[in-house]
């Protein structure tokens, strides 16, 4: 699967680890930055990742900031983007099965790395169930 990923300075350390993990799982990763701990503005990176998903360059996207909150708010302003801020694997799985979330948001200053990778692995491997959930998504698309 082709997956876009981006972060601000609050999420860059976690983002870099997630990139390595996704590649180990066999995915192709489009890393939109940032690449240093210099202060940047998270909406810029949300925009890059959301655009790549909207334009179907990538199937899914992952965004990491300090809390994940700013990224999730910014991402959900984009049409056809369904961004899920997750703190454990259960909501990550449900966000794919029921919400067809196409962006995963993580808090780099909130989550331990083992939990973050558990969330990421679960999220990328869980398919959308469709059916009644598709109808509900279409109600706000």
Peptide bond into 115 cis (omega under 30): no
**Shorter beta-carbon distance to ligand RB5: residue 76 or 126:** 76
Q: According to CB under 6 A, which residues from 47 to 66 bind ligand RB5? A: 65-66
CA neighbor of 130 nearest in space, from 140, 119, 138: 138
- State yes or no: residue 137 binds ligand RB5 (CB under 6 A): no
**Structure letter (DSSP) for residue 44:** H
- Residues forming beta bridges with residue 4, ordered by sequence position: 30, 61
For residue 99 the two structure tokens come to: 């919400």
**Shorter beta-carbon distance to ligand RB5: residue 37 or 136:** 37
**Shorter beta-carbon distance to ligand RB5: residue 109 or 136:** 109
Please, what is the minimum distance in Å from the beta carbon of residue 74 to ligand RB5? 9
Please say if 65 is a catalytic residue.
yes
Please say if 9 is a catalytic residue.
no
Site string for ligand RB5, 61-100 (x = CB under 6 A): ----xxx-xx------------------------------
For residue 60 the two structure tokens come to: 């899914």
In angstroms, how far is the first alpha carbon of the chain from the final one?
A: 24
Among candidate residues 58, 65, 86, 105, the one labeled active-site is 65
Residues 129 and 137 sit within 8 Å (Cβ to Cβ) = no
Please, what is the minimum distance in Å from the beta carbon of residue 87 to ligand RB5? 14
State the Cα–Cα distance between residues 14 and 36, nearest whole angstrom: 12
- Residues tagged active-site: 65, 98
Q: Which residues bind ligand RB5 (CB under 6 A)?
A: 8, 10, 42, 65-67, 69-70
């Amino acid at each position: 699967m082709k997956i876009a990923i981006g972060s601000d300075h609050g999420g860059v350390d976690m983002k870099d680890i997630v990139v390595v993990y996704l590649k180990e799982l066999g995915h192709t990763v489009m890393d939109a930055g940032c690449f240093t701990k210099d202060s940047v503005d998270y909406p810029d990176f949300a925009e890059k990742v959301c655009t790549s998903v909207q334009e179907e360059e990538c199937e899914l996207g992952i965004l990491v900031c300090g809390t994940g909150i700013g990224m999730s708010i910014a991402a959900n302003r984009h049409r056809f983007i369904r961004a899920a801020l997750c703190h454990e694997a259960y909501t990550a799985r449900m966000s794919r099965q029921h919400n067809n979330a196409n962006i995963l948001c993580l808090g780099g200053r909130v989550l331990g790395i083992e939990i973050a990778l558990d969330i990421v692995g679960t999220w990328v491997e869980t398919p959308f169930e469709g059916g009644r959930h598709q109808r509900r998504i279409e109600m706000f698309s």
